[in-house]
Amino acid sequence: MKKFDRERVLLAVAGPVIALVSAILLTSVVLIASGKNPFEPYRLMLQQAAYSDVQVLIINQASMYYLAALAVAIGFRMNLFNIGVDGQYRLAAMMTAVAGANLALPGFLQIPVLLIVAIGTGAVWAGIAGVLKVTRGVSEVVATIMLNAIATSLIGYLTLSDVWGVQVGNNMTTGIMHKSGWFPGIDLGPDVGEIYGLVFLAVLMGVAYWIVLNRTRFGFDLRATGASETAAAASGVDAKRMILTAMLISGGVAGLSGLPLLLGDAHTYSLSFPTGLGFTGITIALLGRNSPVGIAFAALLIAFLDKASPALDYATPVAYEKEIATIMQGLIVFAVVVSYEAVRQWGLRRQQKRVGAELAAELAHHASQKEVAA
């Protein structure tokens, strides 16, 4: 059976590797077309990755990407497309910031409360789409996109100074959170920076994701629904309950994805809080094939592109546009979708062939037996 295991590893790695290689090649084509050196930018970015302060930035960013991508992946595993992670995490981060500024419990209570607020807000926001889908048959894609827009407006309203907002200079914030809600990080010195403490939450969530999916009944039902809705229904999965539960969990995890930054560094929700984590999360979940380890690599890769690319603008003697990294991210998405489907089909055929081959000898043997029997 070892040989099928090796086979599976090979297949799992083949997709991403093909995708990345083709994305890099295509990016080089773009560089050549615009009259630039097709390989120099990669060297420059890799150089950046050697600096420890950039490494800290990458890890911190990756932790947020990781959580957002997990949220997307939970939906993907049962064919639900939660595009609304973006709205869910922003609303959740804002609500958490408000709670953190207005609650003053001791740290061992404050932080769990804040986590619960974040999870709850994300879950409720995603749950709206879930309820709409289950009761009215509204596509979750449409509903969550709409909810993203509504979340933006809602945040804008709630951070007005006559609601919950506090104006600091030109920036609208939600006020500084109480210190008991600040999550301590690992300080690596003034030149290097601090790794957010909640990076470990991301790791924990990854482990939990794997356990729930692969070692619980619920996870099996979820995966079965994703693999074949009809087979899952016949095996006793209540599709509606499953959709709602998956949306709630996905939203809950999405709610956490802004927190490493919020509790680790920003300590307030303001206009400068990062947006778009949810969309990048979709890329990362795709690239990571919804597997907790794959998503971790993908999150690190995309965070690397994010954090190493700004230096391109200041490179000497020739500067490159940092948007090269954005182009590359886009190309990765294309390449991933194409190469994974190709590898999947190739793998299925290949396994059928191998199973057929293994049985061929036995089959021939059996056929001759049958002939004798007849």
Query: Is 276 a binder of another protein (CB under 8 A)?
Result: no
Single out the residue of 42, 220, 279, 297 in contact with another protein (rule: CB under 8 A). Answer: 220
What is the nearest approach in angstroms of another protein to the Cβ of residue 302? Answer: 27
Binding mask 122-151 for another protein (x = CB under 8 A): ------------------------------
Closest alpha carbon to 270 in 152, 189, 166: 166
Query: Is 216 a binder of another protein (CB under 8 A)?
Result: yes
Buried b (16+ CB within 10 A) or exposed e, 217-249: eebebbebbbeeeeebeeeebeeeebbbbbbbb
What is the nearest approach in angstroms of another protein to the Cβ of residue 248? Answer: 18
Query: Is 1 a binder of another protein (CB under 8 A)?
Result: yes
Q: Closer to another protein at the Cβ: 43 or 366?
A: 366
* Alpha helix (H) residue ranges in 77-184: 85-102, 107-136, 140-158
Do the bridges between strand 171-173 and strand 186-187 make them parallel or antiparallel, or are there none, so unpaired? unpaired
What is the nearest approach in angstroms of another protein to the Cβ of residue 225? Answer: 10
What is the nearest approach in angstroms of another protein to the Cβ of residue 372? Answer: 11
Query: Is 33 a binder of another protein (CB under 8 A)?
Result: no
Single out the residue of 214, 272, 326, 368 in contact with another protein (rule: CB under 8 A). Answer: 214
Residue list 320-349, contact with another protein (CB under 8 A): 348-349
Task: Kindly state the tokens that stand for 59.
Answer: 């890890």
Query: Is 21 a binder of another protein (CB under 8 A)?
Result: no
Residue 168 bridge partners (DSSP): 171
Q: Closer to another protein at the Cβ: 204 or 360?
A: 360
Q: State the Cα–Cα distance between residues 52 and 47, nearest whole angstrom.
A: 11
Sequence-distant (≥ 6) Cβ neighbours of residue 74 within 8 angstroms? 82, 209, 222, 246, 249, 250, 253
What is the nearest approach in angstroms of another protein to the Cβ of residue 38? Answer: 38
